Structure 1
Amino acid sequence: MSNAPLVRLDGITKRFGDTVALSELSLDIAEGEFVTFLGPSGCGKSTTLRILGGFEQPTNGKVLLRGEDVTRRPPEKRNVNMVFQDYALFPHMTVRQNIGFGLELKGMGKTEIRARQDEIMSFLELDAFGDRYPAQLSGGQRQRVALARALAPDPALLLLDEPLGALDAKLRGQVQQELKSIQRRTHKTFFFVTHDQEEALTMSDRIVVMNKGKVEQDGTPEELYFQPATRFVAEFIGETNLLHGELRGTEGDTAVMDWFGQTLRGTAPAGLPVAGQPVTASVRLERLGFHAARPETANAVQGRVTGKTFLGSRMALDIAVEQAQGATLRAYTDAGTGQALSGDVPVWIGWDEASMAILRD
């Protein structure tokens, strides 16, 4: 694999009248990556996808594909293909005809088209459905046909615009795994757009969290979940405890904060305020541990269980922290541990330094 990126977005800005949809977005995407743009409606993720596909022109900036400037090149002149949320299959065409449509546009011969249709249908296990029409297929089958049609011309980059949005919850989970498996087997570069955090965490090699037309944070699913850089990312991805305190200072990659008189230590991103300023820390619910005595961890507080929520194999507990003037923490634990904890007996809650991220607001 070349060290040069497959895709480079260089200073992309997009304005719609007075509205700035994207502001100086710069990003590299490597060959074979599964990159997800995640964020709420209106954050700029779909605009980025459309600029990559050639369906929108940026106001400023450049799009480079394998080092070649394709900014002003129309969609049909880019080696890029798209899978839409509604699949956009031709209802009057069979599965085989839908898959062959893009190959005909490329000017391939009938024998070559037939061979490619057979190859892609076998790969995606669609052999038995070649003569069926879209209306005769399930939602998951239609999704696979849309993917087959997009992959058939062998694009360098595949754009996926919330392609699982029309599926029910159970089928959606199955197709997520299938889609990631297909990406790994084809070694294709996928650019996936979604507002669904679980979908992004499940499928991606890398997630770019967007907010108001800018990149809020860019990293692996694990990095964004356990080490969010900002409050927006901490709250948008998963459930977390937010601890509001005062920064005492930093020691390399460690930040020390005061929380209701308790000294807490966490990881420090670049751009923190100076000592004495207010800061917020994020601690995920599953990172909190329960102990009968004060644990040997970087952070430990004592509290009492005030509420329990049964979640099957695990339980969510609400804890009133005794040293924190009525502040509460929420934690996940296994159902057995949760059942054994009583609000009548104080319990120690501990977490390590790496489990607490000091946020850059």
Structure 2
Amino acid sequence: MTATVTSIANSAGRDPSLDPIMALVAADMAQVNQVILDRMQSEIPLIPMLAGHLIAGGGKRMRPMLTLACARLLDYPGTRHHKLAASVEFIHTATLLHDDVVDGSDLRRGKRTANIIWGNPASVLVGDFLFSRSFELMVEDGSLKVLKILSHASAVIAEGEVNQLTAQRQVGLGEERYLNIISSKTAALFAAACRIAAVVAERDQATEEALDAYGRNLGIAFQLVDDAIDYASDAETMGKGVGDDFRDGKMTLPVILAYARGSDADRAFWKDAVEGRRVSDEDLAHATRLLRDANAIDDTIERARHFGQRAIDALGPFTRGTAKSALVEAVEFAISRAY
């Protein structure tokens, strides 16, 4: 492998997109989609109906695409990664179903959430069904190492969600704990999705760790941008309600930075907002002004760029080619969503 260093600045003379990675894995993704379709079936009609609502809801399938693209990066010639990529998507979908119940969300990717249509109990139980399907696929693969990686990621995601729940409406939440939360609830699955490609390709520990680092840092960057655009975008762009994090009292990095940098009056506002006493549209507009005055949104995006560059640097040991370029551009796309 030839070491190369690539900058996060896009040099293609166009806006970054997922088109290269989608084109790279298109044939494999068709196989993964068939596995997903087959394995979400059940004799209980509500299960495929509810699961299909979310799975067909316009998501880019970023995590399974990473499994497939990393396998291409390693020139893996087999098909084991198809079922494992589907397993990754089932884990992600299950967590989304559970998250929407916990958060009381009413929009996901611009559509009504499953819990709003079918109720919380059905959403939780179908999420459990998808988790079970995911583990069936892992077991069928037959690799204890793959099972260990994905099962550990599932446990870490759950820990991250509980950590976030217990941190909700706590205005004193610090940046370190916030990063621990998003490293668990978002980045852990990105890392596992990439790492298992090295396992099925029978590469060494260093390759596993490089792909893990790529996925983990991309996941952190991805979540940082999501948290920034909650205050700097619109519902159509985000696919969820504007200001959901604000009204849910979530201490995301933009709020943590603004609170730390604010005046006594600003801090009093943030305390009221985080504790649920300032939730109107006017309050959201005021919060957004405070964030901009404190450069909190820009600095959150700058931190995302830092983690994005770390993701790209992790690809340094791999030979240049179509797969590596597509993985680099996936990072650039994750950052560019903020603009």
| Coarse TM-score class (shorter-chain normalised) | under 0.3
Question: Structure with the greater relative contact order (CA < 8 A, sep ≥ 6): 1 or 2?
Answer: 2
Scaled by the length of structure 2, the TM-score of the pair is 0.25
Judging by fraction of residues, say which structure has more strand: 1
